[in-house]
A and B are shown apart, each in its own frame.
Chain A
Amino acid sequence: MMKRKALDLWVGVFVAIGLGALLFLALKVGNLASFSAAETYLVKANFDNIGGLKKRAPVKSAGVVVGRIEDIVFDTETYEATVTFSIDKRYEFPKDTSAKILTSGLLGEQYVGLAAGGDTAKLKDGDKLKITQSAVVLENLISQFLFNKAADGNKDIK
């Protein structure tokens, strides 16, 4: 039968190691440190087609992650998709920033890319982006390609 003090010591060590492992996982293995603690402001944007964009997908500018997609809803008045994203408060963007839906790699996950404009006034919490470009839909791309090919063929015949 272990002495009480030795027992308590070992259990304390056990719990400490366990919590340490959890901390290690959260910080070094996951992305807790890099993002969630930061304060953010919300910005909206409308898109014709969001493609495969999902919630919590990254928002990048110049390739650096500056925010996350918070919400995606369908607007019944304009029949467009309204995407709400949170941007780290450290990064300010001009009011005429544009948003594009891009794909990582060729067939990877989709994210929103922000390209800063030239306006001196900055985006505030709740603002809406005016310039957006929708996702590239593969089927449209293929039909466009075929259409161009057909048009070229016609031109040659003429």
Chain B
Amino acid sequence: MLTKLATDNLVEVDNVNFAYDSRQILKGVNLAIRRGQVVAIMGLSGCGKTTLLRLIGGALRPSAGEVRVGGRAVAKLSHDELFALRRKMGMLFQFGALFTDMSCYDNVAFQMREHTDLPEELIDDLVLMKLQAVGLRGAHQLMPSELSGGMARRVALARTTALDPMLIMYDEPFAGLDPVSMGVIGQLIRRLNDSLGATSIIVTHDVAEALQLVDYVYFMSDGMIVTQGTPDELRASDKPFVHQFVHGEMDGPMPFHYPAEDYGRDLFAGKA
């Protein structure tokens, strides 16, 4: 099981490579996340952020290198050990991934019912408490299809933290939300992390929200960590890539134009 270690790194990604079908997605990624931190992993779509999360969760195995959670290599765990580890982790999927065939209440109660022998009355109290923490106790009878995007995301958050996980991972938690919901989710992430004494990893490309919220940022591009630092350091950074990302510039290291022939030649060439 997970033991208290001298180091207070909860998650260590050690020189990890990952390839899928001969496509290199991660090329030598190194990062360490300390307990209690809220860390953001940012980058453009397709840079490998979500793959990294799935490696930490044990859904994928690295082709080289090691991913350690609590000092133990995730890829080497037995089936039972992996499932035991997952009970201490929570993952919030993009758009929530609530089970559409059961109510919000049942969604939040799901892990409690599956993994514990708690009596229904106790589960009832716990579920309502979790929903209260995200402000949706009144909606507990609704079905996921009856919720707005932001509400669904919040219920999913309640579900993710149902068993008080020590590591919470968020896959694009701000995607597609209105500004108010974004602010709410951001605040909830911070509040839950601190009240549970947990560690949070947020994968996102929403710069404004993330920089306000997190303790540390890792920047990925093309399968590698290109830069890292605290939000203030990144805001002040003059590295062209970081600058383009943080300030949302149209053109820079990440080109605006998709590679193409010379414009003039294309215009005057006539149809082939």
**B residues in contact with A1, CB < 8 Å:** 101-103, 143
Within the complex, what minimum Cβ distance (angstroms) separates B35 from chain A?
A: 40
Interface string of B96-119 (1 = CB under 8 A from A): 000001110000000000000000
Minimal Cβ-Cβ distance residue in A for B103: A1
Count residues on chain A whose CB falls below 8 Å from chain B CBs. 1
- Classify the interface of chain A: helix, strand, loop or mixed: loop
A1 to B107, CA, bound (A): 13
Within the complex, what minimum Cβ distance (angstroms) separates A5 from chain B?
A: 16
A1 to B103, CA, bound (A): 8
- CB within 8 Å of B: which of A81-131? none
Minimal Cβ-Cβ distance residue in A for B102: A1
Within the complex, what minimum Cβ distance (angstroms) separates B32 from chain A?
A: 44
**A residues in contact with B102, CB < 8 Å:** 1
A75 to B143, CA, bound (A): 75
A62 to B101, CA, bound (A): 65
Within the complex, what minimum Cβ distance (angstroms) separates A6 from chain B?
A: 15
**A residues in contact with B101, CB < 8 Å:** 1
**A residues in contact with B103, CB < 8 Å:** 1
Within the complex, what minimum Cβ distance (angstroms) separates B20 from chain A?
A: 37
- CB within 8 Å of B: which of A54-87? none
A1 to B102, CA, bound (A): 7
Within the complex, what minimum Cβ distance (angstroms) separates B38 from chain A?
A: 36
- CB within 8 Å of B: which of A1-19? 1
A1 to B143, CA, bound (A): 8
B contact set with A: CB distance below 8 Å: 101-103, 143
What are 4 of the A-B contact pairs (CB < 8 Å)? A1-B101, A1-B102, A1-B103, A1-B143
Complex A-B, nearest 4 residue pairs according to Cβ-Cβ distance, in ascending order:
A1-B102, A1-B103, A1-B143, A1-B101
